Amino acid sequence: MQVRDVMNKSVRAVRPDTKVMEVASLMCLYRYHGLPVTEEDGTLIGFIAEKDLLHHLFPTFERLMEEGLGNVDLDLEMGRYAEVLDLYVSDLMTRNPIAVTPDMHVLRATTIMVRNKFRRIPVAENGILVGVLSLGDVHKAIFHANVAGTLKSR
């Protein structure tokens, strides 16, 4: 079973010059946990995930050392979210993301995901985004293959 057999081909991607407000809205409205970032021609250049947005709310290590962990007002930090929304995707995205190819065996792709603690990974062919693979997609495909009896038993 190859990645192309399992991946989601109708993928929403964003551009690096997209405001984080738009990305956060998509994440909240459509329950996207992350979105590929592409150039106009579909070239995969990054990935932006919820953790990237929330990471900016964490006090820096230096600040924690200066003020002490118990002295940081976490509610005040949460209020800084509006500052994050004013940023651009290019400010927060992971650049040059790990991607898999459509012709890769689905378990090889899953190994890459698990080792990197990813729940989803972009699928690219010659650098162009063609889909996204999630652990849920893999599990569902393996479940159906086994229930339908399409996998050979030993």
Better pLDDT: 66 or 150: 66
CA angle 85–88–92, rounded 5-degree value: 90
Range of weakest confidence among 52-61, 87-96, 140-149: 52-61
Residue 154's pLDDT is 47
Say whether 23 sits in a helix, a strand or coil: helix
Q: Which of 63, 151, 30 is nearest to 22 (CA)?
A: 30
Distance CA 41, CA 38 (A): 8
Read off the pTM.
Answer: 0.84
Distance CA 5, CA 105 (A): 10
- Portion of the chain with pLDDT greater than 70, in percent: 94
Residue 65 reports pLDDT greater than 90: no
Residue 62's pLDDT is 77
- To the question of domain 3-147 being in CATH 3.10.580.10, the answer is yes
Q: What's the pLDDT band for 106 if we cut at 50, 70, 90?
A: very high
